[in-house]
Amino acid sequence: EDMPGKSAFVDEPSCPESIERLGLDGEWHDAIGPVCTIHNSELVWAHPVDEASRRVPLGLDSRDGASVWMDNVDLQQRIFGQFRGSSILWATGDTWFRSSPVEIGRA
């Protein structure tokens, strides 16, 4: 039950196991080209604006377990997206597609 003044959104990045269960790990691209790599609860931009904004925590919406969020430093806002199998549809209108699943750290 929701309480007035309380958000159902998690304010901290999700534990890596929660994000991992969604199957988000891997490389992602949009219609133009590579966007990022996701591993556990961290998003690493393919073309960061600067080194300080290269890595971004990825969070999980606790209400449905399929909505994700990230804090966009450039736009200075939290952006939400819906994970749908092999794509993420962002509230900004962007759609990312899985390039390939990645087993990071395994040779």
pLDDT tens, residue by residue, 75-92: 688 899 998 888 999 999
SS3 1: coil
Give residue for tokens 């998690």.
Answer: 10
Percent of the chain at pLDDT > 70 equals 68
pTM: 0.72
User: According to the model, what pLDDT value does residue 91 have?
Assistant: 92
| Mean pLDDT computed over 13-39 | 80
Task: Give me the sign of the Cα torsion angle 86, 73, 19, 91.
Answer: negative
Task: Output phi, psi for 81, to 5 deg.
Answer: -140, 160
Identify the sign of the CA torsion 96, 48, 25, 105: positive
Domain residue ranges in the chain: 16-99
Residues 6+ apart with CB under 8 A from 51: none
The mean pLDDT value of the chain amounts to 76
Phi, psi dihedrals of residue 31, rounded to the nearest 5°: -65, -20
Instruction: Assign domain 16-99 to a CATH class.
Output: mainly beta
DSSP of 84-101: ETTEEEETTS-EEEEEE-
